Amino acid sequence: MDYETPQFYRVMQYAARADRDVVEMVSGSPDWDPPEGVREGLREYADADASEFQYAPSRGLRGLRERIATRHGVDADRIVVTNGAGEANHLAMTGGLDRFDGDEILLADPVYPYYAGRANFRDAEATFVPVAEDGRLDPDAVRAAASSKTAVIVVNSPNNPTGAVYDAEAMAAFAAIAEANDALLLSDEVYERFDYTGRFAAALDLDSPNVVATNAFSKSMAITGFRVGYAVFPPTGELVERATTRHMLTNVSGSRPAQYAVERAMATTEPTYYEAARERLRSRIDRFCDALEAAGATYTRPDGGFYVLARFPDFPGTFENAERLIDDAGVAGMPGAAFGEARADWLRFSLTTPRVETAAERLVSYFG
Amino acid sequence: MDYETPQFYRVMQYAARADRDVVEMVSGSPDWDPPEGVREGLREYADADASEFQYAPSRGLRGLRERIATRHGVDADRIVVTNGAGEANHLAMTGGLDRFDGDEILLADPVYPYYAGRANFRDAEATFVPVAEDGRLDPDAVRAAASSKTAVIVVNSPNNPTGAVYDAEAMAAFAAIAEANDALLLSDEVYERFDYTGRFAAALDLDSPNVVATNAFSKSMAITGFRVGYAVFPPTGELVERATTRHMLTNVSGSRPAQYAVERAMATTEPTYYEAARERLRSRIDRFCDALEAAGATYTRPDGGFYVLARFPDFPGTFENAERLIDDAGVAGMPGAAFGEARADWLRFSLTTPRVETAAERLVSYFG
């Protein structure tokens, strides 16, 4: 599997070129409006003094870092504001490989392809731990796979693509495994606002020197194009120092209009904004899972995030079948094969489209 | 010299904390207004459809890449839009180390500290070629230093900190040296709009498979905080492919509001905007060099860019002396020692302040 060039675009382009109407359920870009504070922040910034158009501090605008620190109950010195969760994960993973012995990265299978791509690109050894039937990584399986060779263990909760959400007990187990093997637990919490169970547990609550949490406003504020994310490092120094240097030498600093708008939106966005997004998705999940049921599919109902994995009878999740589904049913999903082996027979559908109802009808009619 | 944490902030912070009024001539952030098109672009974007708040293509907004391609007369497929010139230089330097044999990077002394920091961080061997008396790299000196060990040769024209501008003959010589040693010539042209001689030569005019040119809108549009830059790779494949993958796995994509605003400003900014900035700086250079003359300093009158290097009698360019100058004269310059050994006795003054006149008077009164 070539993870170095994530295959999302291949399927999206095929869908865009199709000779018929297609419901696009490939990309993970929210289809709803950002909070009004984002737009207001940009308008304000457009009229700002010229000095505000110059370099932000490398680790991010002070006010933004402080709001993030307050939200997570940590010291602002632990935070590096990054170019989205992408750079946050890059800094955390690379820092873990540099800091801890071993060159192995433990990843779930199915895996979000960018994690595996980064491991490949760094010539690290990626070891895949298959998730259990319910889509969750079993801590016992992670414990069995971890060893002194392990430098980084990656968990993502709520999970892309399985929809798994890890509770406090599971997160504590993952952190303990990292500590026992002198490794880093990288906890990617970018879908944190989309937990339908109330059981989501933040890795930072563990207060472990082996944990780095990454996050972004991309999904929560529906601004994947802004590239404002962050990593929260352990309080005692080396990881955050090294990440700060790498960030400075790679990017110098993040884009200031985007950081300014996010800072403004953090100050003004009401909890109802996030609740509304959650409710919208929950109702799409209900509708879509009903259709999967009617289509005779096996599926995992997500506890969080906005993806649904489904397996249709005699229709494995290959690129060929994804293309056939586009042409014959007018629904574009991501082949499970793009996420590894454990769900290679499945397809992933992103519920970030207002046309879930249409997609549901088409799938029932095609498979039902 | 620890290049991994560039020392600009140390001096700027000292200046900010000083007990007196200080003219800040450390940072390279323009003090003039961005083109109105930048502000207009942000205002337009603030009202855009929610879909425009999502991921830009990883290599940059199509329209922006096409405008950049047209401006340089190259195919858009050769361009990766980056998070400022910083990421462009990171991608080019790292790609050169990966693609060409050897692990040596040739840099000028004095050197822009980020180049040296990147080399250190990658564990590449940095070899410094001292500039000639006039502040220019002599192609003969570069030729003598280059060998089969050399993977990357970095030139920066107009130069930070010396103000040197390389003409077509010098650029052709640098490219020939890169070709002869199977190395990459990385030409950082971020100060291209600030050429006072008319002799500036773009490396891309050479049409060499060994040349990568980097650039950004940071200085030319006075938006160092936006982080919109780019690298132009050779037409035949491997370097641009590798950079595209690295960019995608590091940053996913650049920040879209900033790219949108720059695309808008490229469409609407008249040549008079750039001319006015050049004239403003030219008159500051005149005034400042007059003062250096009166203060008994040795100095290099810049052919381009907006920095002036000066050496005062019995006042070497140490951090201690930079701090003394802040406290005793009320002028903050960057210690030459931060740029290597060749100009360690000098201080660098950035003319990006409306208070050049005041600084000039203070220096004359302190040293004169």
Examine the pLDDT at A2 and tell me if it is beyond 60: no
Report the pLDDT value the prediction gives residue A152, as an integer from 0 to 100: 98
What integer pLDDT is reported at residue B353 of this predicted model?
97
Chain B residues closer than 8 Å to A84 by CB: 251-252
Alpha-helical regions (H) of chain B: 8-17, 36-46, 62-72, 84-99, 113-121, 139-145, 168-180, 238-251, 256-268, 271-294, 319-329, 356-367
Residue among B30, B86, B249 whose CB faces A114 most closely: B249
- Residues in chain A with CB shorter than 8 Å from the CB of B34 are 50, 53
The pLDDT of residue A155 is above 70? yes
pLDDT computed for residue B10 by the predictor: 86
Say yes or no to pLDDT of A230 above 90. yes
Kindly state the percentage of chain A with pLDDT values over 90: 94
Nearest residue on chain A to B93, judged by CA atoms? A250
Tokens of A243: 């990440």
d(CA B137, CA B106): 11
For residue A61, what is the nearest residue in chain B, using CA coordinates? B225
Q: Which residues of chain B does A87 touch, with a Cβ-Cβ cutoff of 8 Å?
A: 250-252
pLDDT of residue B217: 98
User: In this structure, which topology does domain A8-34+271-367 adopt according to CATH?
Assistant: Aspartate Aminotransferase, domain 1 (3.90.1150)
Q: What integer best gives the mean pLDDT of chain B?
A: 96
Chain B hits for A54, CB-CB cut-off 8 Å, are: 27, 29-30, 222-225
Whole-number pLDDT of residue A254: 98
Which residues in chain A have Cβ-Cβ distances shorter than 8 Å to B105? none
pLDDT of residue A6: 65
Half-sphere exposure of B160 (CA within 13 A, CB side): 23
pLDDT grade for A5, boundaries at 50, 70 and 90: low
Domain B37-268, CATH: 3.40.640.10
pLDDT at A8: 79
List all residues 6 or more positions away from A138 whose beta carbon is below 8 Å from its beta carbon. A131, A132
Whether residue A45 and residue B42 make contact (CB cut-off 8 A), yes or no, is yes
Chain B residues within an 8 Å CB radius of A261: 257
Chain segment A41-92, per-residue pLDDT in tens: 999 999 999 999 999 999 999 999 999 999 999 999 999 999 999 999 999 9
Contacts of A250 in chain B (CB under 8 A): 83, 86-87, 90, 250
Contact B253 A121 (CB under 8 A): no
* pLDDT at residue B7 in the model: 77
Helix (H) or strand (E) holding B299: strand B298-300
- In this prediction, residue A45 carries a pLDDT of 98
pLDDT at A9: 81
User: If you count residue pairs, one on A and one on B, with CB atoms under 8 Å apart, how many are there?
Assistant: 181
Task: Please tell me the distance in Å from B200's CA to the nearest CA on chain A.
Answer: 26
Residue of B nearest to A227 (CA): B255
Where along chain B do its domains lie? 8-34+271-367, 37-268
Reported as a single tens digit per residue, the pLDDT across A256-284 is 999 999 999 999 999 999 999 999 999 99
- Which whole number is the average pLDDT over B72-78? 97
pLDDT at A69: 98
Q: What is the pLDDT of residues B3-24, one digit of tens each?
A: 656 677 889 999 999 999 999 9
Q: Say what the pLDDT of residue A4 is.
A: 56
Task: Search chain B and give the residue with CA nearest A248.
Answer: B5
Cβ pair A295, A367 in contact under 8 A: yes
- Nearest Cα residue in chain A from B83: A251
0.80 exceeded by pTM: yes
Burial B329-365 (b: 16+ CB within 10 A, else e): bbbbbbbbbbbbebbbbbbbbbbbbebbeebbbbbbe
pLDDT in tens, B31-58: 999 999 999 999 999 999 999 999 999 9
Q: Mean per-residue pLDDT for B100-116?
A: 96
- Are A83 and B255 in contact (CB < 8 Å)? yes
| Chain B residue numbers touching A31 (CB-CB < 8 A) | 50-51
Residue B2 has pLDDT above 70, yes or no: no
**Interatomic CA distance for residues B310 and B291, integer angstroms:** 11
Q: How far is A12 from chain B (nearest CA, A)?
A: 12
d(CA B359, CA A196) in angstroms, rounded, equals 61
A177 neighbors A144 (Cβ within 8 angstroms)? no
Mean pLDDT of the B173-198 span: 98
Q: How far apart are CA A236 and CA A234, in angstroms?
A: 6
Given a cut of 90, whether residue B236 has pLDDT beyond it is no
- Partner residue facing A245 (CB), from B4, B86, B253: B4
Which tens digits make up the pLDDT trace of A311-350?
A: 999 999 999 999 999 999 999 999 999 999 999 999 999 9
Q: Which of B43, B222, B228 sits opposite A50 (nearest CB)?
A: B222
| C-alpha–C-alpha distance, residues B188 and B28, integer Å | 15
Write down the CATH number for the domain with range A54-268.
3.40.640.10
Q: Which residue of chain B is at minimal alpha-carbon distance from A42?
A: B46
